[in-house]
Amino acid sequence: MSFTIEFQPMGIRLICNDPLTLLDASRQAGISLRSDCGAAGICGKCIIQIVRSSGEYPSTENERTFLSNKQISDGFHLACETVISDDLKVHVPAESMNTSQVLQVEGNSNVAQPEPLISQKMVKLKEPALNDLLSDLSRLQQTANIFSLDASLEVVRRIPQILRNMNWEANLIVREGELLNVIPHPLSNLLGLAVDVGSTKLAVYLMDLATGEVLAAKGVPNPQIAYGEDIMARLYYALKEKDGASKLHSLLMKSINQVAEELCTRIGNAPTEIVDACLVGNTAMHHFFLDLPIESLAFSPFVPVLSDALDPHSSEIGLASMPGGRVHAPAVIAGFVGSDHLAFLLAEGFGEDGHVRLGIDIGTNTEIALQKGDKVVSVSTASGPAFEGAHIRFGMRAAPGAIEHVKIDQHGKVQTQVIGDQPPVGICGSGILDAVSELRRHHLLNSRGRLDRSASGVQLDERGKPYFSLAGSITLSQIDIDQILLAKGAIRAGIDVLMNYLKVVPNEIEEVLIAGAFGSYMQPDNAIRIGMLPEIPLSRIRAVGNAAGTGARMMLVSKTARKKANALAKRIEYLELTVYPEFPMFYARGIQA
Amino acid sequence: MSFTIEFQPMGIRLICNDPLTLLDASRQAGISLRSDCGAAGICGKCIIQIVRSSGEYPSTENERTFLSNKQISDGFHLACETVISDDLKVHVPAESMNTSQVLQVEGNSNVAQPEPLISQKMVKLKEPALNDLLSDLSRLQQTANIFSLDASLEVVRRIPQILRNMNWEANLIVREGELLNVIPHPLSNLLGLAVDVGSTKLAVYLMDLATGEVLAAKGVPNPQIAYGEDIMARLYYALKEKDGASKLHSLLMKSINQVAEELCTRIGNAPTEIVDACLVGNTAMHHFFLDLPIESLAFSPFVPVLSDALDPHSSEIGLASMPGGRVHAPAVIAGFVGSDHLAFLLAEGFGEDGHVRLGIDIGTNTEIALQKGDKVVSVSTASGPAFEGAHIRFGMRAAPGAIEHVKIDQHGKVQTQVIGDQPPVGICGSGILDAVSELRRHHLLNSRGRLDRSASGVQLDERGKPYFSLAGSITLSQIDIDQILLAKGAIRAGIDVLMNYLKVVPNEIEEVLIAGAFGSYMQPDNAIRIGMLPEIPLSRIRAVGNAAGTGARMMLVSKTARKKANALAKRIEYLELTVYPEFPMFYARGIQA
């Protein structure tokens, strides 16, 4: 059973299937609520107001600490404490939001001022007569006063019947001098679809191109997961199986089309009213959604087939939208730095000023970019899936039952916080990061990354290997810790290479932007303590949520954003770590605890 | 059984199925031989030399009149006297050709200097490496030094495999900044296909784009004839039958594809090596080959759906050529003035100078254009099919057995000339024109168009209607004569309207160009005597053969020709005769004998 959360004043609607906290929901909707404590219920920043609901929401103990009685009776809550499972309308006070995100979502900042490529124009033509013999297309061009209008044969074939059925009135859908379609009536909204095609999750946003508003949004799992957990597994599947690539392409498009249709239905429209689209993703996803051959991505040196932006007809990639419509596929940077990274950098203002700024998107491959002056340099580092919970005995994704935060107090007692406030069943990335950091802080883990077998709390398994108990049966073993140190070492080595290349020292970095879900949950002080990040003042570190989705939405609604993204893509210099002379040294140093 | 005629020095090959004269064959191949007598064997201008043959060609009496013994033993013949039915190689002396045609066919005049849109470029790429990570497409662009190269998703999908299979060498097929295709090896020829899509006949030319040479050519019947003799019948069929239009489109393309394949096979190539195409036709054929809706052409005011030139992908119209290739469909002028008329005017230099020039293409609809200064005005007049032999009791197309010329001597004796030198079975347009003219000259027909019942040679049928015997059982009745007078009246009224509109008197007309087969056989003095043409000195009247095919070939091989055609199309002013005030008066005058 699905339910809908409506966020005001943004007008975003999110459709959910499983119970989740309002904080999680807001993140899925691309709204970045403040959450200084990482959803621990202890900072009191993520205040929202439930304006309308079908269920009951009694206040929690943490809420009573931060909210006045008046606020409680007016429906105010902490978003991180409020688990919802029914239709809800929520008002988000401006002071509860990370400012830059507010602007990006509402689209009224100067970075995403709506400036759509698509426009519509209703025209009333003079009926042809023996003394007025213009062809149908020339008549349209003359009346609409756009003589340079190009039209494909496909759309020309549609014109005569519509004109004659509609008594010589028609609505033109125009994209920068190209006549995309001719339809009987004006569209109430010019709908656009922005999709962040993640390896794990598809974030789909249905937008009003004229206002830049998100009208509805939904996240669904990437259905390709059934054919491989990570990108390499899917590439090998595509190569190994007959029509494997084509099957993975179809699966993806089917899923996007289903969500698009669902979102359209929800707001009373049809997918044929989607007049523009922008799809971003890592380079493998980019090749899958464009149905490009993927052989070259599977083997060294991992070059893309296509790196520049392309605007194919949506029918060429099987996207179900308006006939004649096009889809914008922004540029990719390299085999492991995709258009999602470009979108992230665009959303966070890379290329706009000369500030020293670091952008990190942590995943199985972690993309990192460093800007200094007019230079933007990016790397991709094979950090592996440890922070996504894979290759960790009790590891899991950030989902109900996952330990998302760990604290060890001065008595050695372990405090955990579990998503969904239920008995723990595993531990997710942010919990793993916390755990390692806390073990290190309490010297249960030495600088070489070895658990101290003599310490209390550190136990030995039947083969004599040390492990640490977190909660119930959930433990963290030496092997788990090794995985985590390799992952954070790869990330840190990437950062160090960039700093080395651009001659930047940590204190010069004015801003660190961490994208993705893990970035939102991760405690920056712990990330610094275990050495994943260099020593940068905490106030300069900011989680930016699904910034790739934000960038995709910006490019969807704005010509200028597309131009900026193209210019940024040309400016970004990609460094291949495996041939960077100092990389092995940085990596060796990075994997230390 | 088919046989091939090869014309030198043009290098044109024509494939034929039925016996025909070398004069007819040369016309089908687009070569305009001189024939002042209209193929009567009495002017001695159409001299050619048979260089190689499998059959015997004894000299005829007429040939012995015009040729020396040395010439006869060297294989010289009169083209109009030489009926062939086997493989032949012919040399055409320059002095036997109408000069302007020589230039157009050979493509070395300044009007059709080869200047193709398509070029190919073989590139050898550096293999990607970890320190050289350009995407496949960017690598191609960089190596070929064409960074502005656009490529469709379709061609991008083909690139990686070819590059890797061919050890990073590949041949690019480029069309004005668009990458059409990437193929393993260079093409020996850049082949182009020019097609004049007539209602009756398709004239298909396979050309070398680089040299402008016709490599092979063939004329076949338009297969749509089975669904209607004339355009209106086919339009009504298309409207009446389910999928009728689509069936007529498919039939046409299938036939063009078959001929194209046959011509390619003949020269040892494949249709996938055809990298460009240009199709012209009347507006109905234009809509049929582009698969555009034809409703608007079937009913007054007969407006086209599309009038400007369009360059769809050949796959969009079902033309079997190189994947990724495009086809040029030049502009049409009006519902009954198509791109074949534009091609004719282009080929004859309309729009190039300010000469007063009249162009006429006689058919069921006769298109006429008059140029004066910078004005070019065209009309279409419903002349009906009389000159094509339809609606005439013994009428037939110009084919073996047709009386093509008629003379009545001072004794009232009728002399006829029959195509193929066989007993007559009917009479074709030029014969009909001659007959009416001769009847008028001998006062057997009065100025009101009535046969003189009292004259010798004029007989009465069982219902008392007068008729005139031509040869054997072949007669011309009063009803036939009425049809002819209506046809010539319509043509003359069209000419008169144009002269009236542009204030031109007959003697000002510097050139009269008559296109099409009928124009080639027609005797201009007779056309003037019966009033089809105004009184213009005979020396200014010139038959230009398949000038539409010539124009199509020019546009196929030359960018400049396409530009000129576009400019000419914009300059041509179309006059609708049915609303021209003086038209009824001119028509009433025109139908008099």
Say whether B130 and A301 touch across the interface (CB within 8 A): yes
The one-character DSSP state at A228 is: -
Q: Which two tokens stand for residue A113?
A: 């001022």
Find, among B125, B122, B104, the residue nearest to B113 by Cα.
Answer: B104
Q: Is A126 near chain B, with CB under 8 Å?
A: no
Which residues of chain B, if any, have pLDDT below 70? Answer: 1, 11, 30, 36-40, 98-112, 147
Task: Report whether B62 contacts B35 (CB < 8 A).
Answer: no
Q: What is the 3-state secondary structure (H, E, C) of A487-540?
A: HHHHHHHHHHHHHHHHCCCHHHCCEEEEEHHHHHHCCHHHHHHCCCCCCCCHHH
Give the pLDDT confidence score for residue A109 in this predicted structure.
31
CA distance A243 to chain B (A): 14
Q: Give the residue with greater pLDDT, B534 vs A64.
A: B534
Helix and strand numbers, DSSP H then E, in chain A: 19, 28
Say whether B305 and A137 touch across the interface (CB within 8 A): yes
Nearest CA in chain B to A132: B301
Nearest CA in chain B to A578: B130
Give the pLDDT confidence score for residue A230 in this predicted structure.
85
pLDDT band for position A37 (cuts 50, 70, 90): low
B53-61: long-range contacts, CB 8 A cutoff, minimum separation 24 = B53/B84, B53/B86, B53/B87, B53/B88, B53/B89, B54/B86, B54/B87, B54/B88, B55/B84, B55/B85, B55/B86, B55/B88, B57/B82, B57/B84
The 10s digit of each residue's pLDDT in B124-174 is 999 999 999 999 999 999 988 876 778 899 999 999 999 999 999 999 999
Q: List, in order, residues 6 or more apart from A468 with CB less than 8 Å away.
A: A435, A439, A444, A451, A457, A458, A459, A475, A476, A477
- From chain A, pick out residues whose CB is under 8 angstroms from the CB of B304: 135-136
Find, among B276, B272, B264, the residue nearest to B118 by Cα.
Answer: B276
Q: What is the mean pLDDT of residues A265-280?
A: 96
Task: Assess whether pLDDT exceeds 50 at residue A122.
Answer: yes
Give the pLDDT confidence score for residue B427 in this predicted structure.
93
pLDDT band for position A112 (cuts 50, 70, 90): low
Question: Which B residues in the span 80-99 are in contact with A, Cβ-Cβ below 8 Å?
Answer: none
Task: Report whether B533 contacts B495 (CB < 8 A).
Answer: yes
Q: Is B489 near chain A, with CB under 8 Å?
A: no
CA distance B513 to chain A (A): 27
Q: Give the residue with greater pLDDT, A322 vs A62.
A: A322
The 10s digit of each residue's pLDDT in A501-516 is 999 999 999 999 999 8
**H/E stretch holding B10:** none
**Rounded-to-integer distance, Cα B254 and Cα A541, Å:** 66
Give the pLDDT confidence score for residue B495 in this predicted structure.
98
Say whether B157 and A293 touch across the interface (CB within 8 A): yes
Q: Is B152 near chain A, with CB under 8 Å?
A: yes
Nearest CA in chain A to B294: A160
Task: Report whether B11 contacts B215 (CB < 8 A).
Answer: yes
Give the pLDDT confidence score for residue A342 in this predicted structure.
98
Nearest beta carbon to residue B292 from set A157, A304, A574? A157
Give the pLDDT confidence score for residue A99 in this predicted structure.
44
**Rounded-to-integer distance, Cα A39 and Cα A492, Å:** 26
pLDDT-wise least confident of A201-205, A520-524, B171-175, B258-262: A520-524
The 10s digit of each residue's pLDDT in A146-186 is 767 788 999 999 999 999 999 999 999 999 989 999 999 99
**Rounded-to-integer distance, Cα A101 and Cα A30, Å:** 8
Say whether A293 and B153 touch across the interface (CB within 8 A): no
At position B337, the amino acid (one-letter code) is V
Angle between helix A478-502 and A583-590 (nearest 10): 140
Question: Which A residues in the span 557-576 are in contact with B, Cβ-Cβ below 8 Å?
Answer: 574, 576
Find, among A344, A366, A365, the residue nearest to A357 by Cα.
Answer: A344
CA angle at B540 for the pair B344 and B385, rounded to the nearest 5°: 50
The 10s digit of each residue's pLDDT in A182-198 is 999 999 999 999 999 99
Question: What is the distance of C-alpha A404 from the center of its chain?
Answer: 20
Q: Is B301 near chain A, with CB under 8 Å?
A: yes
Nearest CA in chain A to B316: A153
Four-CA torsion A70, A75, A78, A83, nearest 10 degrees: 150
**Rounded-to-integer distance, Cα A89 and Cα A511, Å:** 34
Give the pLDDT confidence score for residue B545 in this predicted structure.
84
Task: Assess whether pLDDT exceeds 50 at residue A479.
Answer: yes
- Whole-Å CA distances, B140 to A85, A175, A239, B588: 54, 29, 24, 67
Task: Report whether A518 contacts A362 (CB < 8 A).
Answer: yes
Task: Report whether B62 contacts B81 (CB < 8 A).
Answer: yes
Q: Is B246 near chain A, with CB under 8 Å?
A: no
Give the pLDDT confidence score for residue B80 in this predicted structure.
87
Question: What is the distance of C-alpha B182 from the center of its chain?
Answer: 34
- From chain B, pick out residues whose CB is under 8 angstroms from the CB of A293: 157, 160-161
What is the dihedral sign for C-alpha A312, A315, A321, A322?
A: positive
At position B313, the amino acid (one-letter code) is H
Query: How many beta-carbon pairs below 8 A join chains A and B?
Result: 136
Q: Is B245 near chain A, with CB under 8 Å?
A: no
Give the pLDDT confidence score for residue A98 in this predicted structure.
63
Task: Assess whether pLDDT exceeds 60 at residue A127.
Answer: yes
Q: In chain A, pLDDT over 70 holds for what percent of residues?
A: 96
Nearest beta carbon to residue A135 from set B129, B307, B579? B307
Nearest CA in chain A to B160: A305
pLDDT-wise least confident of A12-21, A566-575, B196-205, B301-310: A12-21
**Rounded-to-integer distance, Cα A183 and Cα A162, Å:** 7
